[in-house]
Structure 1
């Protein structure tokens, strides 16, 4: 069995989809399954790499990005050249360029698996032009991987193909601390890129209603103007001694922040999954997230079991959830870590994906 994973970019380019591709590729190669990757380069030149586990990474030259899509005509040529060497094409979407390349290739006798990470939400005007191609690939696919049961039910595109869909949650390799955290900490933690869709201003405003001994630590970097907007809000509310924008942290340092926190809040206005929720759960932190659609974040975090789900844009609801967590802290903490270990480890993701390959 020979697998070609196919998507926009691959590490060292950072991103959730890129990390999933790398974890699957490495995990399959460690199990002696042939798995290689075709993707776009981040620059205008072609490059081939070999991973420590022997996978070939084919990076086609990019002319640049338009609407988050890498424009790489060479991808079409390279897929035509490579496709006969593989039995299964595992394509990670959304990626209009990769979809077009597959449409123009000799895919007739190949098994096609779509990994549906998210609907296209932000580029709605351009989506109108892509919809025929998107409909084609959904119809052509042998199986469609969704990252949560909830996304299958809520995505208007996946609902029409529910019989093909299988839920394979994204899993991560994240050490779980011993012992579990305790509610003695006064740090409310949030992690994410500083962009408006993360809704950090609503978490900041929640500090107005929290007891004064609580601090809010926000880790991440992003758009400078949004970071300035957040800091201006903190200053105007006179919360400089209670709310802190700490910038980006290395993965190693980030683990320490998780271990020192009381609970974790993800106040997003849009979130297809939420890998940071998994990191917090692995650390035994009770969660607060927002109720969104389509989204898997409030499927990862089970309301009143691993934490609380609140309406978006509601600082007082965030505060109430944080205070409720304190009342039943140990039970929520234990259930959060147990849910991570049951559903969201990297090993489980690899094993279920491998089973899916054999089934097709």
Structure 2
């Protein structure tokens, strides 16, 4: 089976969607699936083309971030159109897209409709975009209720990676049937991670609480910090990540 994946980001770019897509493709390729990934070339030092895992082919097209964490194809680039047209020369059995508000999902829609291929959309979002200022928030919401909704109603199958994501999909388009498949965990990799002895030695009597992820409203980091006021035992909270809420969370932590 040949699968074409439109991914808004892909390793070496770092993020949850990226690692989810990469692990998903790795395990499918190990089962004999022929997978091609079409993704923005971000960061710029990422190769234009590479083969990873068990023959997973990754094509990266020219792109830029019009705002932070929102990649846009360089539509004026002949290289982009050459790569996109090349996909139409192949006959894929399934098309997969990820997250409705990225333009790669629109590219997937066009491809699936023109080639009349089965299309699965995987939704990672669980709320409207709330970062980037008032103007960005308004535009993002308008986009979700137009193109985002178009993505959700057009795909043959919608998969959400959480209950919250499924509920959000139904909020945008109440009539869609959205199934939930939770993300798996690479247990073998976790077992081989050595504990940071220095941290344990530095705080031998403290309960250590750690958050790792993007610092945005929907992650609940502010709730964690507010709840910390009620913890009576000795504790330390480590927050690992970055995002639009980083400075606000630093101010909250100082309080």
Question: Which residue matches 1:42?
Answer: 42
Is there any run of 5+ residues in structure 1 with no aligned partner, and where? Answer: 178-184, 234-360
Give the direction of change, closer, same or farther, for the CA distance of 1:149–1:30 in structure 2 (3 Å limit). Answer: same
Deviation at 1:130, TM superposition (A): 5.4
- Partner SS state of residue 21, structure 1: helix
Deviations 1:182-219 (A, max 9, x none): xxx741413134736255455445444333x4212223
Deviation at 1:149, TM superposition (A): 3.8
Is there any run of 5+ residues in structure 2 with no aligned partner, and where? Answer: 131-135, 192-204
Give the direction of change, closer, same or farther, for the CA distance of 1:141–1:75 in structure 2 (3 Å limit). Answer: farther
Deviations 1:5-64 (A, max 9, x none): 111111111111111110111111111111121100115687001103211100111133
Q: Does 1:94 align with 2:116?
A: no
Deviations 1:233-259 (A, max 9, x none): 3xxxxxxxxxxxxxxxxxxxxxxxxxx
Deviation at 1:157, TM superposition (A): 2.1
Aligned length, in residue pairs: 224
Give the direction of change, closer, same or farther, for the CA distance of 1:206–1:169 in structure 2 (3 Å limit). Answer: closer
Structure having the larger proportion of residues in strand: 2
Q: 1:61-210, aligned counterparts within 5 Å? A: 61-66=62-67, 68-72=69-73, 73=75, 78-83=83-88, 84-105=90-111, 107-118=114-125, 119-122=127-130, 123-127=136-140, 128-129=142-143, 131-155=145-169, 156-162=171-177, 165-175=178-188, 186-193=206-213, 195=215, 197=217, 198-200=219-221, 202-210=223-231
Q: Does 1:232 align with 2:254?
A: yes
Alignment root-mean-square deviation, CA: 3.0
Deviation at 1:129, TM superposition (A): 4.1
- How far apart are the structure 2 equivalents of 1:221 and 1:139? 34
Pick the structure with greater CA Rg.
1
Question: Which residue matches 2:195?
Answer: none
Q: Is the 8 A contact 1:6 1:98 kept in 2?
A: yes
- How far apart are the structure 1 equivalents of 2:15 and 2:9? 9
- How far apart are the structure 1 equivalents of 2:214 and 2:84? 36
Question: Which residue matches 1:60?
Answer: 61
Q: TM-score, normalised by structure 1?
A: 0.54
